[in-house]
Amino acid sequence: MSPSGLIVIGRKIPSAVYVLAALGLLLAIVVPRFATPGNLINLLRVAGILTIASYGQAIIIITAGLDFSIGSAVALTSVLTVLLVEPLGTPIAFACGGGAALAVGAINGVLIGGARLPPFLVTLGMLIFVHGLASLLVGGVPLEAPAGMGMMWLGKGTIFGIPTPIILALLGFLALSILLQGTTIGRYWYLVGASAHAARLAGVPVGLTLFLAYVVGSAFVAVAGMVLTSRVGSGQPYLFPTLPFEAIAACAIGGLPLTGGAGRPIQVVAGVLILTASENAVVLLNVSSAAQLMIVGALMVGAVTLQHFKWRRYGKWRLYGAPRGGTEARAVRAQRGRR
């Protein structure tokens, strides 16, 4: 990443990919049964869903926001889908489920893009609100899908021998790359994330840009929610409560600065794979679930800290959200020199 943190189409391989390669090699040597085709395919299948959700999170992080509500949005998708299979038929039920996730994104978008509320606050509120809604719809207990619900291929099936979630993750990669690098709105997302003030001065419709970020982000979440629903085959209000944290962690591990304005799809994929591979390895090593939490936490902080060592050479101004490189920092440094 360049000092300004703005170069996106750079040919440089992001450091997270090196970390992933080193980690993969280490795990293959140290952990028995890690590098077997069966385990790797299973790992990728699990990673697929998280990857799709993380694409959505990445768009929002690029605009310098955060989305916690996705943890409940996928739950609402699954609950609504299973409820609607009987009256409406499977395909329409899935469409409605996905639509619910989109609606959550649209509400986030209106509140954050339109009213300019802090993303952190809005999406936390929506996380709790939508979870209450999903629980209320099914009375708080998981609802089994009616027998013969179609669409099972979405979560469990394969296309040309490759599990569907992996195919969807690859398609999502393509879509995200085109969106971020080939479309005006994608460029606007970077601009708004780097500096909303500068973007407005440059004539970017900031509110609309933010609104679209949350809607498009939730489209990825909707797909992830549909795949999850098909995978578990039931409507669960507690479907994937750690999803927002894992998605944010994956983006951070991949090297997306949460201050916005930078990030590439490949980093998201690398981040997800680092996270999933280490979780998988910890399970293979038969560590208790409590220790797993600690290891994942330490790993996440470690991976992010490691990437900061490179950044440190830009000096103390890196500390605590101070300006990264760029004009502002130069101005400050010049001022200090004069003093």
Partner 1 sequence: MQTRSVAIVQLFRAGVAPPSLIIAIILLTISIPYFATLSNAATILGAVGPLAVAAVGEMLVIVTGGFDISVGAVAALGSVMAALTINVIGPIGLVAAPATGAFCGILSGFLISRLSVQPVIATLGTMLAARGLALALGGGYQTIELGEGNNVLWLGYGRILGIPVSFLIVIAVTVIATLFLDHLRLGRRLMMIGSNVISAELIGVPLVRSIVTAYALCGLLAGLAGMIFVGRASAGLPTEGYGLELQAIAAAVMGGTALSGGVGWPPFVLIGALFIQTLVNGLNLAGLSPFVVELATGAVIVFAGLLDLAIRRFAAAQPETHGG
Looking at 155-216, which runs of residues are DSSP E strands? 158-159, 162-163
Q: At a CB cut-off of 8 Å and minimum separation 6, what does 133 contact? A: 72, 76
* C-alpha to C-alpha distances, 174 to 211, 232, 269, 305, nearest whole angstrom: 22, 27, 12, 29
Looking at 219-333, which runs of residues are DSSP E strands? 234-235
Nearer to partner 1, 16 or 249 (CB): 249
Total number of residues that touch partner 1 (CB under 8 A) = 58
Query: Does residue 318 bind partner 1 (CB under 8 A)?
Result: yes
Q: Which helix (H) or strand (E) holds 143?
A: strand 143-144
Restricting to residues 236-255, which ones interact with partner 1 according to CB under 8 A?
245, 248-249, 252
Report the nearest approach of partner 1 to the CB of residue 164 (Å): 30
Distance CA 151, CA 159 (A): 13
Return the closest-CA partner of residue 202 out of 220, 187, 224.
187
Query: Does residue 217 bind partner 1 (CB under 8 A)?
Result: no
Q: Strand pairing partners for 46?
A: none
Query: Does residue 125 bind partner 1 (CB under 8 A)?
Result: yes
Report the nearest approach of partner 1 to the CB of residue 153 (Å): 32
Nearer to partner 1, 67 or 172 (CB): 67
Nearer to partner 1, 173 or 311 (CB): 311
Q: Which stretch binds partner 1 (CB under 8 A): 88-96, 130-138, 262-270, 272-280?
A: 130-138
For partner 1, what does the binding mask look like between residues 254 and 273, x meaning CB under 8 A?
A: ---xxx--------------
Query: Does residue 288 bind partner 1 (CB under 8 A)?
Result: yes
Kindly write down the DSSP assignment for every residue of 77-94, as one continuous string: HHHHHHHHHHHH-HHHHH
Query: Does residue 308 bind partner 1 (CB under 8 A)?
Result: yes
Report the nearest approach of partner 1 to the CB of residue 163 (Å): 28
Report the nearest approach of partner 1 to the CB of residue 264 (Å): 18
Return the closest-CA partner of residue 284 out of 3, 39, 14, 16.
39
Distance CA 307, CA 18 (A): 11
Are 70 and 243 in contact by the 8 Å Cβ rule? The answer is yes
Query: Does residue 29 bind partner 1 (CB under 8 A)?
Result: no
Query: Does residue 141 bind partner 1 (CB under 8 A)?
Result: no
Query: Does residue 184 bind partner 1 (CB under 8 A)?
Result: no
Query: Does residue 291 bind partner 1 (CB under 8 A)?
Result: yes
Distance CA 250, CA 264 (A): 13
Burial class (CB in 10 A: 0-12, 13-18, 19+), 304: middle
Q: Which stretch binds partner 1 (CB under 8 A): 88-96, 143-151, 180-188, 283-291?
A: 283-291
For partner 1, what does the binding mask look like between residues 85 and 124, x meaning CB under 8 A?
A: --------------------------x---xxxx-xxx-x
- Residues near partner 1 (CB under 8 A): 66, 111, 115-118, 120-122, 124-133, 135-136, 140, 245, 248-249, 252, 257-259, 288-298, 300-301, 304-305, 308, 311-312, 316-323, 332, 335-336
